[in-house]
Amino acid sequence: MGKGRLEAFSDGVLAIIITIMVLELKVPHGDDLGSLTKLLPVFISYVLSFIYIGIYWNNHHHMLHAAQHVNGNIMWANMHLLFWLSLVPFATGWMGENHFTTLPVAMYGMVLFMAGIAYFILARTLVKHHGSNSTLAQAFGTDQKGKWSVYIYAIAIVLAFVNPWISMALYTIVASIWFIPDRRIAKKMV
Amino acid sequence: MGKGRLEAFSDGVLAIIITIMVLELKVPHGDDLGSLTKLLPVFISYVLSFIYIGIYWNNHHHMLHAAQHVNGNIMWANMHLLFWLSLVPFATGWMGENHFTTLPVAMYGMVLFMAGIAYFILARTLVKHHGSNSTLAQAFGTDQKGKWSVYIYAIAIVLAFVNPWISMALYTIVASIWFIPDRRIAKKMV
Amino acid sequence: MGKGRLEAFSDGVLAIIITIMVLELKVPHGDDLGSLTKLLPVFISYVLSFIYIGIYWNNHHHMLHAAQHVNGNIMWANMHLLFWLSLVPFATGWMGENHFTTLPVAMYGMVLFMAGIAYFILARTLVKHHGSNSTLAQAFGTDQKGKWSVYIYAIAIVLAFVNPWISMALYTIVASIWFIPDRRIAKKMV
Amino acid sequence: MGKGRLEAFSDGVLAIIITIMVLELKVPHGDDLGSLTKLLPVFISYVLSFIYIGIYWNNHHHMLHAAQHVNGNIMWANMHLLFWLSLVPFATGWMGENHFTTLPVAMYGMVLFMAGIAYFILARTLVKHHGSNSTLAQAFGTDQKGKWSVYIYAIAIVLAFVNPWISMALYTIVASIWFIPDRRIAKKMV
């Protein structure tokens, strides 16, 4: 089965997710600076989520580039990842609108945590389908970066109840370590 | 006539349908747990519809993969299917917002019922175009699963007036039997 | 210059237009039949516009299938068509919400009129680029159907000030004559 | 690494940006001419932004057509451009709703300014990757048009505090000079 439509559908969903997030930036009625600065928390959470969706698109692109074929399980593992990512605009909007208070920040972490696990499942499903000696399998190896991200999200969710800004710092750190495209696959693919 | 743009357009519409459904999950103003739990019915209906659209995308993908060429009738049969699926976000939102009361649950079944019939018409149109000896025709056979789904939707619509939770159970059962990609075609295609 | 991205971009825009129109069908708060029947005018205008966008996608698909290459002028002629079609959701919503009164119905005709002219310009630009002896040029011929549609839209706009239901009938008639894919090109292409 | 998915994702995002802008044209409740003319400023700003996104899509198309391959840096430079363009609907809506007052007009210029710089960075990153002797590098040359656009945006932002209509005139002038597709690349590519 071809991977073309899986990529096209995922691109479509990710393109829509990244773009409808901006709809949470509601056009203010006033035209003064105050109306604009009031939107700052929503804007900051938009920037963070834009980077996260960008990272997912980038890594998804790399991973499927290394894949040769897909099956039903891979399709559903991919759909599962898209489901959690589809909740990012909601989590982003809730966090931004409430100025980074505990529950919305923990919830944002929860969505990232589930998306991280879904990405891990998708990677495992792909590796299983291609065999443990495939380029894909060797490239993933033990997937340290993926595992650590999920651990850090879990810690960030708990720490949101201490101080949500610690969680925000952790989300930013994870985004930074993923910002660099997945060198493991990139290296193997050249 | 190439099937590429038909697939691309369908992917686009399905990607948008699956993503705009999440807009019904309106960001609550409060940041407490209560604001979140109030969204639970909308969230549950979102999950169900996400799975349904995922199933349709999956089956649509399989069906068109088995097709070699398309014509004007196929295009309109496809557009007809997309029309009913485009009503899923509305039906989902109405059902979720009213906490699964009779009429919205029956209405949701109605949209599924019409989408099921539209899928059946699309399948027949494709089979007709490819001939009754084609791989596609043999793969579909008598399309028992498709027929049963439509019957169950019809029963679910009626039973919503007895107890909408029976209908919800039926929608979940149909989703489960479709969750497994269409083995008939998959088997023939290998 | 390749026509692939022009088709992909147009597919994307048309897929979004056709899907965001459904957002005008706002989820009602009540769960009774009355809340649903109140949406009927919006639903009817949605069905009409869905068919119109479907027709445009279908004809656009045929036309570009017959084209071999595109240039800057064609790109802008295409963008011009997409601009007018992007106003269809607005015109649809305004007409439906006001239950088919004069000005919204005339406005809807105006958008169709401009889209019709834009389609005509795109067709001419394509023919000019491919030469008057090309398959495309011969297939279009004098484009009677396109011209008549535009004339009827113009008449419908004027008659909306007499009785908007005459205009609605005319819009339905034009949709019917276009429903059949452009046989002229289809015939030549086989 | 293939450029196909980069183009597809960018097409998706640009198609969504150009289409969701029209959602700022909110369907008025009245059906008289007054309700329509009140929307005129929002409509004008929509037209301007539609042309700008059209220009970006057009130039993006040309630039990537001349590119042979992409890498991680190019992907992120592209994502950076899409980020600023994703703010165009917000800036457009704010400017239109406030009838072209100072701050919204300056803000609109700011988004164009940042998008212009992001486009410049993307062009530089592509040229760097393809080598200074590549067709791409020679085609871009010193990129006078790109540089001048950014300078004019900067001037327009400042002049918005004198008279926002001067800025609007400048935005229109820049749109006009870009309307013509990038002849430098087009010429080299033939």
Q: How confident is the model at residue D189 (pLDDT cuts 50, 70, 90)?
A: very low
Q: Would you put residue B100 in left (φ > 0), alpha (ψ -120 to 50) or beta?
A: left
Residues B45-74 have a mean pLDDT of: 88
How far, in Å, CA of D30 to CA of D27, rounded?
9
Backbone angles phi, psi at C182, to 5 degrees: -60, 90
**Residue bearing tokens 């002049």:** D159
* Token code pair at residue D24: 């700022």
pLDDT the model gives residue D187: 52
pLDDT the model gives residue C183: 53
Residues A59-63 have a mean pLDDT of: 85
Q: What is the pLDDT of residues D114-123, one digit of tens each?
A: 999 999 999 9
> In chain B, which among 71-110 make CB contacts under 8 A with chain C?
72, 75-76, 79, 82-83, 86-87, 89-90, 93-94, 97-98, 101-104, 107
Closest approach of B75 to chain C, Cα-based (Å): 8
Which residue of chain D comes nearest to C91, CA vs CA?
D27
How far, in Å, CA of C188 to CA of C128, rounded?
18
In this predicted model, which residue has the larger pLDDT, A77 or C63? Answer: A77
Chains touching chain C through at least 3 C-beta pairs below 8 angstroms are B, D
> In chain A, which among 119-178 make CB contacts under 8 A with chain B?
none
Helices D4-20 and C72-86, packing angle to 10 deg? 40
pLDDT(A184) > 50: yes
Q: What is the pLDDT of residues D24-72, one digit of tens each?
A: 888 888 888 998 899 999 999 999 999 999 999 988 888 888 888 888 8
Please, which residues have CB within 8 angstroms of residue D163's CB and are 6 or more apart in sequence? Answer: none
How far, in Å, CA of B175 to CA of A156, rounded?
35
Report how far apart, in Å, the C-alpha atoms of D173 and of each of A46, A76, B158 are: 31, 50, 63
Residues D142-160 have a mean pLDDT of: 89
In this predicted model, which residue has the larger pLDDT, C30 or A83? Answer: A83
Residues B147-172 have a mean pLDDT of: 95
**Residue bearing tokens 């979940």:** B172
pLDDT(C42) > 60: yes
Report how far apart, in Å, the C-alpha atoms of C91 and of each of A135, C96, C106, C110, C111 are: 53, 9, 10, 9, 7
Share of chain D above pLDDT 70, in %: 92
Contact C107 D36 (CB under 8 A): yes
pLDDT(C47) > 90: yes
How far, in Å, CA of B24 to CA of B29, rounded?
15
In this prediction the ipTM stands at 0.88
Chain A contact present for B40, CB below 8 A? no
Backbone angles phi, psi at B144, to 5 degrees: -55, -45
Chain A contact present for B68, CB below 8 A? no
Query: Mutation test of the interface with chain D: which of A5, A7, A19, choosing the one with the most D Cβ atoms within 10 A?
Result: A19
How far, in Å, CA of C186 to CA of C184, rounded?
6
Q: How confident is the model at residue B183 (pLDDT cuts 50, 70, 90)?
A: low
Chain A neighbors of D97, CB-CB under 8 A: 27, 29
Q: Please, how many CA atoms are within 13 Å of residue B135, restricted to the half-sphere of its CB? A: 13
Closest approach of C184 to chain D, Cα-based (Å): 30
How far, in Å, CA of B103 to CA of B121, rounded?
27
Q: What is the pTM of this model?
A: 0.90
Q: What is the pLDDT of residues C50-100, one digit of tens each?
A: 999 999 998 888 888 888 888 888 999 999 999 999 999 999 999 998 999
Chain D neighbors of A37, CB-CB under 8 A: none
Closest approach of D79 to chain A, Cα-based (Å): 7
Which residue of chain A comes nearest to B60, CA vs CA?
A5
Of A110-124, A162-176, B54-68, D175-189, where does mean pLDDT reach its minimum? D175-189
Structural contact between residues D125 and D77, judged by C-beta atoms closer than 8 angstroms: yes
pLDDT the model gives residue B190: 38
Closest approach of D181 to chain C, Cα-based (Å): 6
Quote the mean pLDDT of chain D.
87
Q: Report the residue count for chain A.
A: 190
* Token code pair at residue B161: 């007036």
Residue D139, classed as helix, strand or coil, is helix
Q: How far apart are the first and last CA of chain D?
A: 25
Q: What is the pLDDT of residues C147-158, one digit of tens each?
A: 889 999 999 999
Q: How confident is the model at residue D183 (pLDDT cuts 50, 70, 90)?
A: low
